[in-house]
Structure 1
Amino acid sequence: MRSSCRRHSLLVPALLCACVVLVAQPTAAVGDSRGMQASGASEPGPRVARLYQEAAATTQQYERVRREAKARRAEAQRLQKLLARERQQIKTLHKDLGRIARARYRGGGGLPYTVQLLLADTPEELMRGHRVVWQTDLAVDQKVARSLRAEARLAADEKQAAAESRKLQRRNAELAKKKRAIEKKLEDAQWTLQRQADASAAAGACRKATRLDQPDRGSKRGWVAPVERYALSARFGGSGARWASRHTGQDFAVPIGTPVRAVGQGRVVGVSCGGAFGIQIVVRHTDRDYTQYAHLAAVAVNPGERVAPGQWIGQAGTTGNSTGPHLHFEVRSTPELGSGVDPVPWLLKHGVKL
């Protein structure tokens, strides 16, 4: 099956996959909590969400420092080129001065001043000759002094740039180490979360909604994509051996625990576990359309709750008939399977381009 060409960078490497929906149960979108269990004292869901945010911040720092180090290296290379050119100019000048000095030495150092005075036709001619020689000598001296100052300045700049580059490289190595440690913690928490989700899906009883610290959504947009960073995989209407019929939604390949967002304002009409879709949420929006978020690892809302655009309502996983971590997203005109429309143009109509 062909994947979408559009890709967004993921916070950590994850399996890219397409969902497998064989036969969805009609009760999968019913607005009930179906025997929700009380969640334990230690919930991996919020921990995964926090680690995602921490990893994102560290990754941004890492990339910023990496760019700064690259800029420093480029500046150092530029200074090296300037320094090499300046040294070549000084070398050429020294050769010229040496040639002049040797010529004067072979010629006896030039005519004595008294002879120049006797040979000059007029005093003005003599003064002009001396002025020309004096100006030439002055220009040469100034060039030599300027070149030496420039060489010293460029050498100092090069040394400072090299020191700053080494400092940035050390900082980048520290951030890389911190990033790896966070990703290791994140991976451990992800699979703990997924194991709990698998147990809930197998039992057909969802755990109690786990509240997540909501991000600052900034300007309140009317509609958003269901996940922030993703790679599009299986498309609406696709066919294959993994489906009993056509694919009924749009898949977003994301790591386990990725926060899933409500695409628009609405009310939760269904939270359920088990079956082909695994753990899923159904939201009815103000335009009377329904959106479904399936194969989740955790839910953060209960039936009947109102949700806002961009609100974290759950976390992606790989429950149900799924070959790997992803979000299966559907748009329907009714809560039940069979009334779906292509989510991509539907989102585009609402101002969201995937």
Structure 2
Amino acid sequence: MRSLRRHPLFVPVLLCALAVLAARPTEAADGGGDSDISAQVARLYEDAAVATQQYEAGRQEAEAQRGKAERIEGLLDRERREIAVMHEDLGRIARAQYRTSGGMPLTAQIVLARSPDELMRGQHVFSQANLAVSNAIDKSRRAEARLAADEAKAAAAWQMLEKRNAQLASLKKDIEQKLEEARGQLQGQADASVAAGACRGAVRLDQPRTSFTQTWVAPVETYELSAGFGNGGARWANRHTGQDFAVPIGTPVRAVGAGRVAKVSCGGAFGIEIVVQHAGGYYTQYAHLAAVSVDQGERVSTGQRIGQSGTTGNSTGPHLHFEVRVTPELGSGVDPVPWLTARGVPLG
């Protein structure tokens, strides 16, 4: 990670950018229609991802700053010890100068000197002692000034660290709160569609700029695996027919490969679902969605966002139910994990 110290404008620009994200009003607050909620959630989802990324970058920089501050504290302790030693040296020089009559008046030294050479040697010793004392005093003063500057630097570093972290955390929390509210609205609309047995229609989502070079991808970008293929339980009539991905409501769902949308439906145990037909005779299903962004019969590409996850139908919490089948209908499923692994997409 690049150091913020080499880029002094990074922090204010970052905070301004996040402030813009946090300040963007929701569509509901602006009186936007219900059909816009999917796009709103998708936008807030991206904003939250940016805020989280920048917050983590700031947190890592904070750790580096913490280490720097601890090193400064170590330096301060060393400088304090050095100053204490200097003070001891000053006392030792002063005592030695007193014992050797270094402070004797020049007239007395002339009277007591047994020869001009002895007088010159005495003057030389006296000058050297004064020079040593003067140098020690100057060195001590410089060290004390450096100590004061380092103490101020350490205090400023900690203050900047705490202020930046507080700002980043506040902006991140604000965006996530807006996202949570929008997710609730999206799921409410989805539940109404399922209850009515009629889909609201496709709401187009902005597609990621990244073009996928691989033929197959995971159905969601970030996830935790939950119920797997073949699991038993009271929630299923026989056994679990797919792989569940635990993700928040509104998470963009991707087509795992290129194909054609064979089915879009709302209602029943799967809630809102999409089935995509792929070359080679396989079908993939994406169920318990909150919204769809494709129409039946539409061609899709690898990684294209085709919907948003939810918890519609027979679902106990937000997740994506993903199946791989040899027919478009339930009952012909194969285990999605080894199927995707064999196509270069290991899950875990």
TM-score band, normalised by shorter chain: 0.7 to 0.9
Indicate conservation of the 8 Å contact 2:271/2:288, yes or no.
Answer: yes
For residue 283 of structure 1, report the CA deviation from its aligned partner: 0.9
Equivalent of residue 250 in structure 1, options 243, 247, 254: 243
SS at match of 1:54: helix
TM-score (norm 2): 0.78
Change (3 A) 1:221 1:150: farther
Question: Contact (CA 8 Å) 2:217, 2:257: kept in 1 or not?
Answer: yes
Secondary structure at the residue paired with 1:43?
A: helix
SS in 2 for 1:297: strand
Which digits, 9 at most, give the CA deviation of each residue in 1:246-265, with x for residues without a partner? 11111111111111111111
Q: Hey, what's the Cα distance between the residues in 1 that align with 2:194 and 2:169?
A: 36
C-alpha distance after superposition, 1:86-123 (max 9, x if no partner): 121121122123123213313433996998986999x9
Pair 1:306 & 2:314 matched = no
Q: 1:337 aligns with which of 301, 309, 330?
A: 330
1:267 maps to 260
Q: Decide whether the 8 Å contact of 1:217 with 1:310 is kept in 2.
A: no
**Is structure 2 residue 78 aligned with structure 1 residue 85?**
yes
Shift of 1:156: 2.3
Partners of 1:46 and 1:283 lie apart in 2 by 22
CA distance, structure 2, for counterparts of residue 248 and residue 348 of structure 1: 18
Deviation at 1:158, TM superposition (A): 4.0
Q: Specify the alignment match of 1:208 in structure 2.
A: 201
Root-mean-square deviation (CA), in Å? 3.0
Partner of 1:291: 284
Which residue of structure 1 aligns with residue 18 of structure 2?
none
Equivalent residue of 1:352, what SS? coil
1:106 aligns to 2:104 (yes or no): no
Counting aligned pairs with the same residue, the percent is 63
Higher helix share: 2
Alignment partner of 1:190 is 2:192:
no
Letter paired with 1:58: A
Aligned-partner residue type, residue 196 of structure 1: Q
Equivalent in the alignment of 1:171: 164
> Matched residues in 1 for 2:332 and 2:111: separation?
113
Higher mean C-alpha displacement, 153-162 vs 231-240: 153-162
Deviations 1:145-167 (A, max 9, x none): 45643553454244234324423
Matches of 1:113 and 1:352, distance apart in 2: 98
Say whether residues 1:49 and 2:35 are aligned partners: no
Residues 217-256 of structure 1: per-residue CA shift (max 9 Å, x gap): 2453322211112111111111122222111111111111
Following TM superposition, where does structure 1 have runs of at least 4 consecutive aligned residues deviating by more than 4 angstroms? 110-121, 136-148
Structure 1 residue 202 displacement after superposition: 1.6
Aligned equivalents of 2:70, 2:110: Cα separation in 1: 51
Distance in 2 of aligned mates of 1:297 and 1:65: 33
Give the counterpart letter for 2:194 in structure 1. Answer: A
Distance 1:275 1:107, change over 3 A: same
Moved more, 233-242 or 40-49: 40-49
CA distance in 1, matches of 2:193, 2:253: 19
Structure-2 change in CA distance of 1:246 and 1:118 (3 Å): farther
Shift of 1:180: 2.1
Retained in 2: the 8 A contact 1:332–1:339? yes
- 1:163-220 CA deviation, whole Å, 9 max, x = no partner? 2442342233233222222222212211111111111112221111111111212453
Once the 2 structures are TM-superposed, how far is the Cα of residue 141 of structure 1 from its aligned partner?
6.3
Match for 2:155 among 156, 162, 166?
Answer: 162
Q: How many residues are aligned here?
A: 309
Q: 1:169 to 1:209 in 2, by over 3 A?
A: same
Structure 1 residues 109 and 210: alpha-carbon distance in aligned structure 2, compared to 1, 3 A threshold: same
2:273 maps to which of 280, 297, 301: 280
TM-score, normalised to structure 1's length?
0.77
Change (3 A) 1:117 1:50: farther
Superposition deviation, residue 313 in structure 1: 0.4
Gaps of 5+ in 2: 1-32
Q: Which amino acid aligns with 1:172?
A: N
SS in 1 for 2:210: coil
User: Structure 1, residues 41-69: CA drift from partner, whole Å, max 9, x if none?
Assistant: 64211100101111111122222223323
Does the C-alpha gap of structure 1 residues 62 and 323 become closer, same or farther in structure 2, counting only changes over 3 Å? same
1:347 to 323, 340, 343: 340
**Structure 1 counterpart of 2:182, one-letter code:** A
**d(CA) in 2 for partners of 1:138, 1:68:** 47
Structure 1 segments unaligned to the other structure (5+ residues): 1-39
Aligned to 2:226: 233
